[in-house]
Amino acid sequence: MWKWILGFIALIAAVLGITYFSADKDTRALIAHLPTDRNVLFWSIPQRDAAFRALDKLPALAKVNIIDAGDNVHALPTGAPLKIATNVDAYMKAQRTAGLVIVQDGKIRLEKYGLDFNAQGKWTSFSVAKSFTSTLVGAAIKDGHIKSIDDKVSAYIPDLKGSAYDDVSIKQLLTMTSGVRWNEDYEDKNSDVARFNEHKAEKGVDVTVSYMRKLPREAPAGTKWVYKTGETNLIGVLVSSAVGKTLSQYLSEKIWAPYGMEQDASWLLGATGHEISGCCIQASTRDFARFGEFVRGGAMVDGKPLLPADWLAPATSKQADIGIAGKGYGYQWWTYDDGAFAAQGIFGQGIFIDPKRKLVIASNSNWPKATDPDGVGRQREEFYRSVQAAVDAEAKTR
């Protein structure tokens, strides 16, 4: 037992780049709070502070694939500081922000860190990964591995035949309008999103497919929007099956290496070996910002489009009504009626993209609750608007 404990401490010390006995008091406290179970949704705030920067190295979760970076780094030169009306330090404190990178017209206009995090660290994405996964669907269509988003899902995942998903198209998965019943309540231990994490797969069946194919239908396919992380996980199984590669390998080959991400990233794996494609890419905040720049720039690598010509416009505009004025849902992107769109993850992860202003805002945080739309969520929306206003004010002076 003592050998295991000492080994665990040594592992966590390596994760944090320190030794336990030489660490200061605050860092020792961070190590002490690292969780040893898989119930991410129900960890304490100190546990999450410790774990979100090391999710890919925790003994309970540490099965990952590496997303290899290339030899060349996409430059993000430093521009003049953006004059934002919001008090950024106070905003970051309220948001419990670990990393904030604002890129405008290809230059870093603001970069700040908190929670003892820094530019070299990697923070988990949570559902920001959904937008990466949907982008890989577009790449797979461009490469000829998937014929059309109008194809039925079961044509690519035969184990779904005979289930409620037999009638569902890839597009309906992308827009979360399958009509299959699902509960995404992050505070309910009996919700699908919580129970899914503990599901034991049927023999020979992927764990996501094993869980999802048992779900009942609640509405005709294409008629009702309900947010479902499990369906993004199905998309990941579909893409990796279609291309014959892991999502990590495909993401590295198509985007991460050729576009010029600065660091290797990692992607957590489910119990049966597929990436958890609705969650859990570990990367630096700068590289999340670079992904935003990649999409903002038309998803081009070396001047060549990675996606079909008719992909980005519908992917990043309202395809489904989510019941909130001025917003919608595209292909795993949250959309705004003004043309902006965003990738979002629980506990305050985000990539906000405003093509009109050539603006990308990448942030990693540890909100007090998984979601809080009327509290820190609304505050983040107000911050986005204040940054947009700062860009507009600057443009008027030129």
Cβ partners under 8 Å of residue 268, min gap 6: 55, 56, 61, 63, 64, 275, 276, 279, 280, 282
Summarize the confidence of residues 22-27 as an average pLDDT: 39
- pLDDT at 29 > cutoff 80: no
- In 3D space, the residue among 56, 345, 61 whose CA is nearest the CA of residue 229 turns out to be 345
The string of DSSP letters for 158-199 reads GGGTTSGGGG-BHHHHHTT---B-----TT-TTSHHHHHHTP
What is the tens place of the pLDDT at every residue in 67-116? 999 999 999 999 999 999 999 999 999 999 999 999 999 999 999 999 99
Q: Which of 80-84, 146-150, 233-237, 271-275 has the lowest mean pLDDT?
A: 271-275
Asked if 384 and 361 touch (Cβ cutoff 8 Å), the reply is: yes
- Confidence band for 197, pLDDT divided at 50, 70 and 90: confident
What is the tens place of the pLDDT at every residue in 281-306? 999 999 999 999 999 999 999 999 99
Element (H, E) at 389: helix 376-396
pLDDT mean across residues, the chain = 90
- pLDDT at 32 > cutoff 70: no
What distance in Å separates the CA atoms of residue 38 and residue 48, rounded to the nearest whole number?
12
- Confidence band for 22, pLDDT divided at 50, 70 and 90: very low
- pLDDT at 9 > cutoff 90: no
What is the tens place of the pLDDT at every residue in 316-346? 999 999 999 999 999 999 999 999 999 999 9
- pLDDT at 31 > cutoff 90: no
Residues linked to residue 360 through DSSP beta bridges, in sequence order: 103, 353
Length of the chain: 398
Dihedral (CA of 236, 138, 328, 176) sign = negative
**Residue whose structure tokens are 């369906």:** 231
The string of DSSP letters for 295-318 reads HHTTSEETTEESS-TTTHHHHTS-
- pLDDT at 6 > cutoff 60: no
Summarize the confidence of residues 119-144 as an average pLDDT: 98
Q: pTM for this one?
A: 0.91
- In 3D space, the residue among 291, 159, 280 whose CA is nearest the CA of residue 229 turns out to be 280
Asked if 276 and 268 touch (Cβ cutoff 8 Å), the reply is: yes
How would you list the strands of the sheet with 97-104, edge to edge? 107-113, 97-104, 359-365, 349-354, 341-345, 334-336, 327-329
Structure token pair of residue 101 = 């990178």
- pLDDT at 230 > cutoff 50: yes
- pLDDT at 7 > cutoff 80: no
- pLDDT at 15 > cutoff 50: no
CB burial class (10 A; 0-12, 13-18, 19+) of residue 208?
A: buried
What is the tens place of the pLDDT at every residue in 345-371? 999 999 999 999 999 999 999 999 999
